[in-house]
Structure 1
Amino acid sequence: MPAADTGASTIVGADPVTVPDSRMTPGDPGYRRMSLALFLAGVATFALLYSTQALLPLVSHDFGATASAASWTVSGATGALALFVLPMSALSERFGRRTLMTASLAVAVTVGLLVPFAPSLGALIALRAVQGAALAGLPASATAYLAEEVSPRALITAIGLFVAGNSVGGMSGRIITGWVAQEWGWRVAVGTVGVIAVGCAVAFRLLLPAPRHFEPGSLRPRVLARSVRDHLANPLLRRLYAIGALFMMVFGGVYTVIGYRLTEAPFSLPQGIIGSIFLVYLVGTVSASTAGRLVGRLGRRGALYLAGGTTTAGLLVSLAPWLPLVLLGLVLITAGFFAGHAVASSAVSHTAKQGRAQASALYQSSYYIGSSAGSTLGAVAFHSGGWAGTVAMGLLAVLGVVTITVLGSRAARAERWLVTA
């Protein structure tokens, strides 16, 4: 890696010469443009990826499908993203982060404009899967771009802003689709999200600064396989991948099913109001963007414990049959999830020293496998045990997060003891 990327000292004759770090920091004009561009990319990604989630009761009614069958319009997209994120990361190593993100958004928004015309549930799921595969070029490439172009001390904050864009996209997409669908149906609603995503994609391409520290890598399968093997051999990275998947299982399950719960007694809410419930995503925007300060105060493991505890409290509170407590539960679940995700994803970028795109891709793959599994399992649990079944699934996933974090703490203590012994 060039010295300009590391800020390292070099020796010229007998005098050490410190080469200043040229990566972006808060306050730089480029940093502000980059932050806004990736924020908008995050908005488009989550708005498109979960555009049908708040509309599942309407999709079920239109096609005469069960909740678990309709949930595949979400699981198909997230599952395809999980499957394609690693190959997309390899392409980004060869052709560049900005190039791949631009192409991915272009394909995704084009498919988004076709989704409203799906003639059957099967066709809708197929289009959503293609859309998810296209969006696979965004998450890993974005975090790799940040790791290369942003100063290390600002990395967690920068990734937190990207994750905050995810939360805004998820929130605005669901709110818009909820109210539009109430008046004109789910097809017009998802079409509206597609048009908004087009605007985000154009602004992203115009705003994102050209990379200055990207070095093209190899597309050879052997090189890619070695990079993946090295990352999977790292115990810390394996734990972070599992934590991301488990957090997303909770989030995916809860938000896939919540629309069904709120349309039933004792709530019986209309679609527009159900869409507005997703305003709680604003809490996720705040918790993700402040993840850096949280880690600074509590450490990475302390932040993960807090995120897991907050998510657990939210799941338990949401069991109440009173709407204000259900909303409070969603607020806590959302805050815990986005904080945990921001902490884990930034830790992956910090831990991986080589092949950052592959390291981020493996995290994103695990994360969206968790989303796909959570959406399907949450719907199945709701079908068999009601909301309590979905909550039970979520609690098991959070228990997994806490267990993995405890094991990581023990492993770190053992390693320090061996070094000092």
Structure 2
Amino acid sequence: MSASPVSTHLVRGTVAYRRATLALFCAGFATFAMLYCVQPLLPLLAGYFAVSAASSSLALSLTTLSLALCLLLAGALAESWGRKPVMVAALGLAVLLGLACALVDSWQWLLVLRALLGLALSGLPALAMAYVGEEFDPDSLPAAMGLYIGGTALGGLLGRLLAGLLADLGGWPLALGGIAGLGLLALLLFVWLLPPSRHFQAQALSLRGLLGNFAGHLGNPQLRLLFLLAFLLMGGFVALFNYVGFRLAAPPFSLSATVIGLLFVVYLGGILSAGWAGRLVTRLGARRVLQGGIGLMLLGVLGCAAPWLWLLVLGLALFTLGFFAAHAVASGQVGQRARQARAQASSLYLCAYYLGSSVLGYAGGWIWQHFGWSALLVALAGLFLLALLAVRRL
């Protein structure tokens, strides 16, 4: 009797599955650590370079904007060039640019290098999601995607936490250089651990074919809803974490960069909730788990309105739990609902995801500067209520 085609996929519990998930965990870790390490440094960058709070957020917004725009090209090229080679090259270039960021003393050059860093990182997220969709057994896919999203959560946590600590020890250049060094270690592990693709089928490079794939994905109403969710949830998530540092550095809290960085320990909850949510989908369905995740985000926003530090931190924890649960489920649904050209479908999802980070992250700074913290929280609550309405149509 011939072997089932499913037997060639990565199945939970096998050595190959563990190597692949650990490799993807490292990729997610490095991507988010280098991407978001500037977030707790924004007050320091604003003071050092004498720019406003909203302008300082460009160190993050320009990175995510270039990443979002270049994702479409990276996803298209990967349909012809393969998964692992492009991911290795992208992560290697990102490490070099991260090290270069630590060596400049010009605000303009820092922004240029951060924008190029986003371009380099564009070769990773969509391809990682496509690799999971192609190489893992369907029953193992939600848990594998949850582990990858957990890696992004840990990268976001350590990138921010260590950046705050290193900044207090040696300033923002040491912080950026140290995080790039961690990215190099993650790159070496990724190259060693990730199994080569078995189910990738190369497509000839064709502009007509690429545009046809994009049009097909955008014509799918369920995928459009997932793209909208990516924009709203990620945009709101980044807006809150961009400016909570300014809120906590000011009276009555007056916290140092190290203490503000330590508050990102709430990302540990994101690592757990991403994997947990992926497993819950098989029992409760994607829509219910998404609704629960967004509901937690709304509770978190309410907690962040409190004048007491303990309640604000609790609000951040709930907010983070909800975000990573919702993101893990939504990103997994993209791989399942796209029947072909999965890398391009993933790149569209992540393009919307990082466009939300750039546009809403910067807009949040404008609201914070002109209307204050409470107005920002009200705007975020409005975004998440809109996301709940979108989920009802899934």
TM-score exceeds 0.5? yes
> In the alignment, which residue of structure 2 is the partner of 1:75?
61
Counterpart code for 1:227: N
Partners of 1:106 and 1:390 lie apart in 2 by: 37
> In the alignment, which residue of structure 1 is the partner of 2:287?
301
Structure showing greater relative contact order (alpha-carbon pairs closer than 8 Å, 6 or more residues apart): 2
Q: CA deviation at 1:18?
A: 6.2
1:316 equivalent among 287, 297, 302:
302
> In the alignment, which residue of structure 1 is the partner of 2:169?
183
Partners of 2:177 and 2:286 lie apart in 1 by: 40
> In the alignment, which residue of structure 1 is the partner of 2:47?
61
Q: CA deviation at 1:388?
A: 1.1
Partners of 1:54 and 1:375 lie apart in 2 by: 14
Q: Which moved more, 1:91-100 or 1:288-297?
A: 288-297
Say which SS state the counterpart of residue 393 (structure 2) adopts: helix
Partners of 1:19 and 1:254 lie apart in 2 by: 47
1:215 equivalent in alignment to 2:201: yes
Partners of 1:20 and 1:56 lie apart in 2 by: 50
Are the equivalent residues in 2 in contact too, given 1:251–1:374 (CA < 8 A)? Answer: no
Give the length in aligned residue pairs.
393
Within 5 Å, which residues of 2 pair with 1:22-421? 22-408=8-394
CA deviations 1:185-230 (Å, max 9, x no partner) are: 1111111001111111111011111111111112211100000000
The 4+ residue runs of structure 1 with deviation greater than 3 A are none
Counterpart code for 2:17: Y
Counterpart code for 1:146: V
Are the equivalent residues in 1 in contact too, given 2:11–2:140 (CA < 8 A)? Answer: yes
Q: Which has the larger radius of gyration?
A: 1
Are the equivalent residues in 1 in contact too, given 2:145–2:278 (CA < 8 A)? Answer: no
Partners of 2:223 and 2:361 lie apart in 1 by: 24
> In the alignment, which residue of structure 2 is the partner of 1:5?
none
Percent identity reads 41
Partners of 1:218 and 1:390 lie apart in 2 by: 47
Counterpart code for 1:222: R
Mind listing any 5+ residue stretches in structure 2 that lack a counterpart?
Answer: none
Are the equivalent residues in 2 in contact too, given 1:245–1:368 (CA < 8 A)? Answer: yes
CA deviations 1:149-189 (Å, max 9, x no partner) are: 10011111111111100000000011101011012111111
Q: CA deviation at 1:33?
A: 0.5
1:19 equivalent in alignment to 2:13: no
State the TM-score, normalized to the length of structure 1: 0.92
Q: CA deviation at 1:251?
A: 0.6
Are the equivalent residues in 1 in contact too, given 2:10–2:17 (CA < 8 A)? Answer: yes
Partners of 1:274 and 1:374 lie apart in 2 by: 22
Counterpart code for 2:4: V
CA deviations 1:354-396 (Å, max 9, x no partner) are: 1101100000000011111222011111111221122122111
Q: CA deviation at 1:144?
A: 0.7
Say which SS state the counterpart of residue 102 (structure 2) adopts: helix
Cα RMSD for the two superposed structures: 1.1
